[in-house]
């Protein structure tokens, strides 16, 4: 057997071994769909803007040179309410579910970047924050692998903090605009659950927090108006109070505001003005 034949056989065996050792991607089909949709969006963006037929025709098209990508200005944090990370990933790759997120963070800290940050994920649903009613169009959605009742692992939160640091820097997102799904949809959602470390995030610049040690309430203070100033939808006052407590007074599940709660609301509202 000559040397060239031996080399060919070794090359074939090496290729077989590499193929056998390479794990098959279970999402190869949906990844192809992603690429096709992204390519279609790219073609749409590069097209000349349509001219309205009823207006006088222009002799030529004039495209501005001054534009950029629309950047997200909010980060919305969710929990998956699933039993495992793979379950959430499968749900977000099924067209019939009509739900998605930009990122999914597993319990072991693995971060799956499922959608380009500049594209619109379907994670917020019917939601409102301040005067914003289309939260999906201005936000990044992050899903944490959690069944809705369990604590969040340290390694998972560390991965989240690293991601938030990058997103804040890349998009210049204000600290106050890192919020939860329950904050923007108080009548429907309770995620992330009351085990979520909001104070830890706020101490690192991701969300507002409070220090009421020297706060004195004004005589005519209205906590519901102040909740509205913070951003909460107060159409359902009970739901708004529960959402506020889920974020800021996690040990309390009663939808009644005491003086300590009101001081928190008062200070947070001042930070939001």
143 an active-site residue? Answer: yes
Work out the pLDDT band at 3, boundaries 50, 70, 90: low
Residue 98: what pLDDT? Answer: 94
Helix 259-272 vs helix 223-230: crossing angle, to nearest 10: 40
What share of the chain in percent tops pLDDT 70? Answer: 89
Residue 114 included in any domain: yes
In a shared domain, residues 76 and 166: yes
In a domain, 27, yes or no: no
| pTM listed for this prediction | 0.87
Domain coverage including residue 169: 69-207
The angle at the Cα of 155, spanning 153 to 161, to the nearest 5 degrees, equals 105
pLDDT of 135 over the 60 cut = yes
Residues 197 and 232 in one domain: no
Residue 34 lies in a domain: no
Of 207, 228, 253, the residue that ends a domain is 207
In a domain, 130, yes or no: yes
User: Within a domain: residue 15?
Assistant: no
193 & 221 share domain? no
Residue 221 lies in a domain: yes
Query: Is 238 within the bounds of a domain?
Result: yes
Q: What is the CATH number of the domain that holds 94?
A: 3.40.80.10
| Residue 19, in any domain of the structure | no
Cβ-count burial 72-88 (b if 16+ within 10 Å, e if not) = bebbbbbbbbbeebeeb
What is the per-residue pLDDT across 71-112, written as a single tens digit (0 to 9) for each? 899 999 999 999 899 999 999 999 999 999 999 999 999 999
**Do 198 and 272 belong together in one domain?**
no
69 CB-near residues (< 8 Å, 6+ apart): 118
- Whether residues 260 and 133 fall in one domain: no
Torsion sign (Cα): 163, 167, 173, 178 = negative
Domain's final residue, options 186, 207, 228:
207
Among the candidates 187, 207, 227, a domain finishes at 207
Catalytic residue chosen out of the listed positions 143, 145, 183, 233: 143
Number of domains within the chain: 2
| Residue 49 vs residue 114, higher pLDDT | 114
- 156 and 203 part of one domain: yes
């Amino acid at each position: 057997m000559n040397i060239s034949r031996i080399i060919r056989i070794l090359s074939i065996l090496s290729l077989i071994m590499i193929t056998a050792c390479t794990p098959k991607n279970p999402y190869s089909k949906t990844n192809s769909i992603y690429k096709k949709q992204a390519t279609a969006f790219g073609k749409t963006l590069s097209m000349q803007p349509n001219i309205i037929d009823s207006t006088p025709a222009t002799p030529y098209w004039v495209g501005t040179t001054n534009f950029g990508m629309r950047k997200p200005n909010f980060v919305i944090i969710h929990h998956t309410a699933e039993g495992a990370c793979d379950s959430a990933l499968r749900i977000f790759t099924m067209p019939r579910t009509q739900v998605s997120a930009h990122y999914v963070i597993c319990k072991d800290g693995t971060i799956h970047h499922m959608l380009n940050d500049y594209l619109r994920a379907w994670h917020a649903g019917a939601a409102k924050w301040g005067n914003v009613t289309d939260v999906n169009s201005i936000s990044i959605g992050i899903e944490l692998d959690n069944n809705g009742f369990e604590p969040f692992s340290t390694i998972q939160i560390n991965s989240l903090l690293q991601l938030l640091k990058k997103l804040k820097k890349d998009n210049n997102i204000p600290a106050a605009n890192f919020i939860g799904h329950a904050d923007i949809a108080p009548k429907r959602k309770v995620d992330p659950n009351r085990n979520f470390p909001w104070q830890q995030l706020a101490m690192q610049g991701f969300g507002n927090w409070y220090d009421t040690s020297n706060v004195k309430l004004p005589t005519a203070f209205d906590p519901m108006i102040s909740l509205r100033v913070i951003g909460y939808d107060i159409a359902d006052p009970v739901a708004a109070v529960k959402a506020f407590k889920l974020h800021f007074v996690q040990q309390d599940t009663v939808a009644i505001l005491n003086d300590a709660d009101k001081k928190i609301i008062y200070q947070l509202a001042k930070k939001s003005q």
